[in-house]
Structure 1
Amino acid sequence: MIKLRAKAYVGFLATAFATAGFLTAGAGTATAATLQNTLQGTYYGTQWLTPHQQCINEENARNKQTYGSEDGGDNQYFYCALGDRNIAYNLWWRHYV
């Protein structure tokens, strides 16, 4: 739960930076980079796993595969949040576009 709260706080801060017009330098020109949340899946659980456990397992696997760490990297990461009528968990991807 602490990990989820920390990621939500980081997501909030990232949104603030994106809203403020965060710029990155590229090939001599400034290019606007925006953080975006993209829905990756919804988990309702299995006979052996709760929806939260199922989502967290997928979150950790995707962060490790994509960023080399279960925590993600450089303000980009996969995270879980309550979804459908608070009975499911959604997996979201926070990334630059």
Structure 2
Amino acid sequence: MRTTQPLTITLPLDMAQMVKDKVSSGEYATESEVIRDGLRTLAARDAAIERWLREEVAPTLEDARAHRERLLTADQLRKNLSNRIDAVTAKSRSGT
């Protein structure tokens, strides 16, 4: 049983040249290897984003909904950020 499937793809010239350069440099043996590695990288990035959304963003959102009293208004957030920037700027000016 075949485990691969041939595809015909069209790439912008700069991307096609990138694929060819990867092969000609010896980094990859074939153009297909370049595309496969790119797709594996894309799949890993997608999985990392999904994990971040599930493990960090969703719980943070649930916590914010459960404890609205802890949330800052836009004005409070701006003031806090401005104070933080001022403190960092003052610290860098003093050399410490």
Please identify the structure whose Cα radius of gyration is greater: 2
Q: TM-score if structure 1 supplies the norm length?
A: 0.22
User: Structure 1 or 2: larger strand share?
Assistant: 1
Q: Normalising by the residue count of structure 2, what TM-score does the alignment of the two structures yield?
A: 0.22
